[in-house]
C-alpha cells in the first residue's frame, strides 16, 4: 500500500492559514493598519474600492523596509518582533506572529512599495498566489505602501460568502475606528471609492473621540484616570444622559490593543448601576496599561480576546476607576462654555440687564414666589395660561409629537371588526399604558404600545411592498450630520426609507440633506426620528435571521410606537383600535408579544362565585 500522508503545497497551506486571519476585507484592513502603526508612522492613509473587494491600500510614512526584509515579510512566521519564546510574554507591538502578510498574499494580488530613510531607492514587489511575480527598484518617499487587489480571487467560494458592499464597508469602518481611536497622536484618513470618509488630525484622545463619535459628546465626557502599581486606567466615559440602546460606542484597549471583554464591560455597567436605565448602554473609551507578562494576547487569531493573569483584580480596578470618575462628575459637573448660537442671540444674553428690566423682573409674581422661603414648589395658578391644543379630529399624537392621520385602510373600512366586537361604552385607559374595551361578552385589555407597533409594522410593510407612503417636501430642507459608521448604514437604507416617505440625499462628509419626510410626520422632528431609528436598527443588527429590510421595518415600528405613559383621548384610543383590528395579524407584535388579551364575562363571574 502506498503512503497517503503528504505535505501540503505552500500556497494551499497559506490559504488555509489565511482562513483564520483574513476572514473578510476588514480583517486585512486591521492587519495592515497595525503594521503601519508598528512601523512608527505618524500619518496613515487607508484607501478602499468596492468595500475592499477590489482594493485595500494602506500608505504610511513609517521607517520602511530593506529589500531583503520586504521579501521576507511575506514568508509564513517571518517576524521582526519575536526572537525567543520569552518574547511572546513581553509583546508590546500590534502584530507579532508573522502570518498577516503571508495570509494576504495567499488570497489576493499584492503590490508593495517600501523605502527606508537611508536607502537611495525603494523596492517594488508584486506577489500573486504567494508567488513573487516582479521585483524592481522604485523612486519614492520614506515609508510603505501596500495594496491588495481582488481579495479571494483564487478562492471563489470564500468570495461568495462576503456580504453586501455596505455591510462589508461597515466592518471596515469598525476596524479603522478601533485602530484610530487607540492612537490619537497619529493622523488617519479613510477614503472609499474616491470619497473621503474620515480625516482625523493628530490630537488628544478627547478630540479623537469627538472626531469619530460626533460633536454631541464634546461636553458630555467624564475623564477616567487611575494610576496604581499594578495597572493604569485612563480614558473617558459618557455622562449618564448619553447612554443608548445599543453597545456601539464602547471601546476597551489593553496596551493600546482593542479587545472585546464581556467581563470588563460588566464592571463598567456595575459602575453605572442606578444611573442609567437597565436596557441602556453607556459610552466608554478606556485604556488599560499593564505589564505584558500579566496577560496573554495570543489566545485567538484576531487577537481581540485576551486572558489576564488575575482578571478579578482588573475587574475591581475598572469598576472603581469608573465609579470614582462618575462620583467626581456628580459633585463638580463639567460646565459647557460653548453656547449654542441660537442661545447667544437671545435678548437675555446679548442685551444689558438694565435697572428698568431688573425692576420689572423683581416685581413679577413668579420671581416673588421663588424668592420666598419654602415657596419654590408653589407656582401661582393663572386663568390666562394656554395649553397646546389636542390633535385635530382624525389624528393621533404619538411619540416625538408626530401625528398620524387615520390610516386610509381604516377610512375605507366599514368598521366591521369593531361592530363584530360590539364594543360598548367609553374606552378606559389604565396607567397610561393599557386600554380597556368592553362588550356584552366581557372585555379586551389592549397594550397601547404593542398595538401601535403592529399597526405601524403593517403600514410600513405595505409601503415597501409597493404602496409607498406619501412624501411631504420640506420647504426649508434641513441637514443631518452622522458619525461615519451611521452614515454608511443610512446609505444602505436609503432605498427602503424612500418607500417609507423619506427623501434623503448624501451631501458629503457624512452629512445628508432631508428633502422630504412622511406626510404624517410632524415637521421639525425629522432629525430626531432618523437618529432614533438608526439607534433602534443597530439594536437589531446582531440578529442574523432578519433581512436588512425586515430589521428596518421592525426598528421603525418599535421606535415610533406610542410609549407607555402617553395619555390618549377617547378619539385616539378609538383610532388605535380601529387600525389594529384591520391588521392582518392584530393579536401580536412582529416580535410575537400579545397586543391584547380577552376576558370573558362568565370567567369573571366564576372567579367571584357568581
Of 203, 220, 247, the one marking the end of a domain is 203
Question: Quick one: pLDDT band at residue 186, thresholds 50, 70, 90?
Answer: very high
* 326 plus 436 within the same structural domain: no
Residue 476 neighbours by CB distance under 10 Å: 5
| 505-562 tens-digit pLDDT | 988 778 899 998 887 776 667 888 888 888 888 877 555 567 888 888 998 898 889 9
Q: Are 166 and 135 in contact (CB under 8 A)?
A: no
Residues in a beta bridge with 257: 254
* 47 plus 59 within the same structural domain: yes
**Which of the residue ranges 208-212, 438-442, 570-574 would you say has the lowest mean pLDDT?**
438-442
* 166 plus 210 within the same structural domain: no
Residue whose C-alpha cell is 460568502: 161
- Can you tell me the distance from the alpha carbon of 545 to that of 559, in angstroms, rounded to the nearest whole number? 20
pLDDT at 405: 41
* 92 plus 214 within the same structural domain: no
| 232-277 tens-digit pLDDT | 999 999 999 888 887 778 999 998 989 888 889 999 999 998 888 8
* 234 plus 147 within the same structural domain: no
Which of 403 and 188 is assigned the larger pLDDT? 188
Question: Does the predicted model carry a pTM greater than 0.85?
Answer: no
Is it the case that residue 487 has pLDDT exceeding 80?
A: yes
Q: Please, where are the H alpha helices in 79-197?
A: 100-107, 156-160, 165-182
- The residue-averaged pLDDT of 48-63 equals 95
Which of 381 and 139 is assigned the larger pLDDT? 139
- Can you tell me the distance from the alpha carbon of 408 to that of 458, in angstroms, rounded to the nearest whole number? 13
Instruction: Provide, rounded to the nearest whole percent, the portion of the chain with pLDDT above 70.
Output: 75
Q: C-alpha 299: how far from its chain's center?
A: 27
Q: What integer best gives the mean pLDDT of the chain?
A: 79
Residue 542 neighbours by CB distance under 10 Å: 9
Could you tell me if residue 338 is inside a domain? no
pLDDT at 402: 37
Q: HSE on the CB side for 337, CA within 13 Å?
A: 0
Which of 573 and 358 is assigned the larger pLDDT? 573
Identify the sign of the CA torsion 237, 179, 169, 543.
Answer: negative
Could you tell me if residue 79 is inside a domain? yes
pLDDT at 409: 42
* 403 plus 449 within the same structural domain: yes
pLDDT at 569: 92
Q: In Å, how far are 183, 329, 516 from 204, measured between CA atoms?
A: 9, 20, 39
Closest Cα partner for 253 from 302, 299, 306, 328? 306
pLDDT at 91: 52
pLDDT at 133: 92
Among left, alpha and beta (phi > 0; psi -120 to 50; other), residue 476 is: beta
- The residue-averaged pLDDT of 171-183 equals 95
* 192 plus 241 within the same structural domain: no
Of 203, 225, 246, the one marking the end of a domain is 203
Q: C-alpha 35: how far from its chain's center?
A: 27
CATH number at residue 255: 3.30.230.10
Q: Are 64 and 116 in contact (CB under 8 A)?
A: yes
Question: Quick one: pLDDT band at residue 76, thresholds 50, 70, 90?
Answer: low
Nearest-5° Cα angle at 147, 171 to 210:
40
Annotate 75-106 with DSSP letters as a single string: STT--SS-SSGGGGGS--SS--SS-HHHHHHH
User: What stretch of H or E contains 289?
Assistant: strand 284-290
Could you tell me if residue 14 is inside a domain? yes
Q: C-alpha 567: how far from its chain's center?
A: 31
Which of 3 and 14 is assigned the larger pLDDT? 3
Question: Quick one: pLDDT band at residue 44, thresholds 50, 70, 90?
Answer: very high
* 480 plus 562 within the same structural domain: yes
CA dihedral 404, 409, 413, 416 (to 10 degrees): -80
Residue 546 neighbours by CB distance under 10 Å: 16
| 9-19 tens-digit pLDDT | 766 666 665 55
| Burial class of residue 350, CB neighbours in 10 A (0-12, 13-18, 19+) | exposed
CATH number at residue 82: 3.30.565.10
* 415 plus 543 within the same structural domain: yes
- Cα distance from N-terminal residue to C-terminal residue, the chain: 89
| 145-157 tens-digit pLDDT | 999 999 888 888 7
Question: Quick one: pLDDT band at residue 298, thresholds 50, 70, 90?
Answer: low
Which of 340 and 228 is assigned the larger pLDDT? 228
pLDDT at 416: 39
* 231 plus 192 within the same structural domain: no
Order the strands of the 503-506 sheet from edge to edge.
471-481, 511-518, 503-506
**Which of the residue ranges 38-52, 378-392, 494-508, 545-559 would you say has the lowest mean pLDDT?**
378-392
CATH number at residue 495: 3.30.1370.100
**Domain range enclosing 306:** 206-331
Annotate 468-505 with DSSP letters as a single string: PPPEEEEEEEEEEE--HHHHHHHHHHHHHHHHTT-EEE
Which of 231 and 380 is assigned the larger pLDDT? 231
Instruction: Provide, rounded to the nearest whole percent, the portion of the chain with pLDDT above 90.
Output: 40
Question: Quick one: pLDDT band at residue 371, thresholds 50, 70, 90?
Answer: very low
Could you tell me if residue 195 is inside a domain? yes
- Can you tell me the distance from the alpha carbon of 79 to that of 90, in angstroms, rounded to the nearest whole number? 15
Could you tell me if residue 467 is inside a domain? yes
- The residue-averaged pLDDT of 26-45 equals 93
- Can you tell me the distance from the alpha carbon of 564 to that of 571, in angstroms, rounded to the nearest whole number? 18
Q: HSE on the CB side for 88, CA within 13 Å?
A: 9
Of 278, 311, 331, the one marking the end of a domain is 331
- The residue-averaged pLDDT of 381-391 equals 35
Q: Please, where are the H alpha helices in 258-372?
A: 262-271, 311-331, 341-344, 347-350, 355-363, 365-371
Count of domains for the chain: 3
Question: Quick one: pLDDT band at residue 332, thresholds 50, 70, 90?
Answer: very low
Is it the case that residue 414 has pLDDT exceeding 90?
A: no
pLDDT at 94: 55
Question: Quick one: pLDDT band at residue 485, thresholds 50, 70, 90?
Answer: confident
| 206-227 tens-digit pLDDT | 999 999 988 888 889 999 999 9
pLDDT at 244: 87
Helices 548-560 and 448-464: angle between axes, nearest 10 degrees: 140
* 40 plus 146 within the same structural domain: yes
* 199 plus 212 within the same structural domain: no
Q: Are 522 and 398 in contact (CB under 8 A)?
A: no
Helix (H, G, I), strand (E, B) or coil at 110: strand
- The residue-averaged pLDDT of 98-124 equals 88
- Phi, psi for residue 208 in degrees, rounded to 5: -65, -40
pLDDT at 30: 92
Amino acid at each position: 500500500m502506498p503512503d497517503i500522508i503528504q505535505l501540503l503545497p505552500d500556497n494551499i497551506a497559506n490559504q488555509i492559514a489565511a482562513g483564520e486571519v483574513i476572514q473578510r476585507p476588514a480583517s486585512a484592513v486591521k492587519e495592515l493598519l497595525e503594521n503601519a502603526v508598528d512601523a512608527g508612522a505618524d500619518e496613515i492613509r487607508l484607501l478602499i474600492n468596492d468595500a475592499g473587494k477590489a482594493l485595500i491600500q494602506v500608505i504610511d510614512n513609517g521607517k520602511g523596509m530593506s529589500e531583503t526584509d520586504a521579501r521576507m515579510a511575506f514568508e509564513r512566521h517571518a517576524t521582526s518582533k519575536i526572537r525567543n519564546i520569552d518574547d511572546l510574554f513581553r509583546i508590546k507591538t500590534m502584530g507579532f506572529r508573522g502570518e498577516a502578510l503571508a495570509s494576504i498574499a495567499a488570497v489576493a494580488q499584492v503590490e508593495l512599495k517600501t523605502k527606508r530613510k537611508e536607502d537611495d531607492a525603494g523596492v517594488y514587489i508584486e506577489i500573486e498566489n504567494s508567488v513573487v511575480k516582479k521585483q524592481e527598484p522604485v523612486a519614492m518617499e520614506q515609508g510603505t505602501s501596500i495594496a491588495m487587489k481582488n481579495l479571494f480571487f483564487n478562492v471563489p467560494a470564500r468570495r461568495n460568502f462576503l456580504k453586501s458592499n455596505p455591510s462589508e464597508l461597515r466592518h471596515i469602518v469598525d476596524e479603522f475606528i478601533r485602530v484610530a481611536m487607540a492612537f490619537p497622536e497619529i493622523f488617519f484618513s479613510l477614503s472609499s471609492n474616491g470619497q473621503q470618509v474620515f480625516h482625523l488630525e493628530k490630537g488628544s484622545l478627547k478630540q479623537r473621540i469627538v472626531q469619530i463619535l460626533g460633536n454631541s459628546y464634546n461636553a458630555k465626557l467624564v475623564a477616567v484616570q487611575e494610576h496604581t502599581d499594578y495597572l493604569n486606567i485612563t480614558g473617558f466615559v459618557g455622562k449618564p444622559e448619553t447612554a443608548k440602546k445599543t453597545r456601539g460606542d464602547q471601546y476597551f484597549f489593553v496596551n493600546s490593543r482593542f479587545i472585546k471583554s464581556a467581563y470588563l464591560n460588566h464592571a463598567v455597567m456595575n459602575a453605572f448601576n442606578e444611573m442609567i436605565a437597565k436596557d441602556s448602554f453607556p459610552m466608554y473609551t478606556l485604556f488599560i496599561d499593564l505589564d505584558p507578562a500579566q496577560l496573554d494576547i495570543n489566545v485567538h487569531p484576531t487577537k481581540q480576546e485576551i486572558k489576564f493573569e488575575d482578571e478579578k483584580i482588573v475587574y475591581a480596578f475598572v469598576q472603581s476607576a469608573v465609579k470614582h470618575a462618575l462620583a467626581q462628575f456628580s459633585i463638580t459637573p463639567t460646565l459647557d462654555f460653548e453656547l449654542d448660537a441660537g442661545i447667544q442671540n437671545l435678548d437675555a444674553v446679548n442685551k444689558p440687564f438694565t435697572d428698568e428690566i431688573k425692576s420689572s423682573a423683581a416685581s413679577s409674581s413668579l420671581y416673588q414666589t421663588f424668592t420666598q422661603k419654602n415657596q419654590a414648589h408653589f407656582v401661582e395658578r393663572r386663568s390666562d395660561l394656554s395649553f397646546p391644543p389636542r390633535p385635530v379630529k382624525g389624528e393621533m399624537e404619538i411619540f416625538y409629537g408626530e401625528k398620524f392621520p387615520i390610516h386610509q385602510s381604516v377610512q375605507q373600512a366599514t368598521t366591521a371588526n369593531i361592530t363584530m366586537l360590539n364594543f360598548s361604552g367609553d374606552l378606559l385607559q389604565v396607567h397610561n399604558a393599557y386600554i380597556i374595551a368592553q362588550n356584552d361578552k366581557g372585555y379586551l385589555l389592549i397594550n397601547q404600545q404593542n398595538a401601535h407597533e403592529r399597526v405601524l409594522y403593517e403600514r410600513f410593510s405595505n409601503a415597501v411592498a409597493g404602496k409607498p407612503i406619501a412624501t411631504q417636501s420640506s420647504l426649508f430642507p434641513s441637514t443631518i450630520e452622522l458619525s461615519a459608521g451611521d452614515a454608511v448604514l443610512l446609505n444602505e437604507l436609503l432605498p427602503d426609507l424612500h418607500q417609507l416617505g423619506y427623501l434623503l440625499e448624501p451631501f458629503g462628509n457624512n452629512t445628508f440633506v432631508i428633502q422630504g419626510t412622511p406626510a404624517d410626520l410632524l415637521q421639525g422632528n425629522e432629525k430626531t426620528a432618523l437618529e432614533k431609528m438608526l439607534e433602534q436598527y443597530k439594536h437589531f443588527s446582531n440578529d442574523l435571521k432578519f433581512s436588512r429590510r425586515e430589521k428596518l421595518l421592525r426598528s421603525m415600528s418599535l421606535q415610533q410606537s406610542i410609549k407607555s405613559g402617553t395619555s390618549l383621548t377617547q378619539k385616539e384610543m378609538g383610532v388605535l383600535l380601529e387600525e389594529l383590528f384591520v391588521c392582518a395579524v392584530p393579536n401580536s407584535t412582529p416580535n410575537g408579544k400579545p397586543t391584547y388579551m380577552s376576558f370573558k364575562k362568565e370567567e369573571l363571574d366564576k372567579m367571584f362565585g357568581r
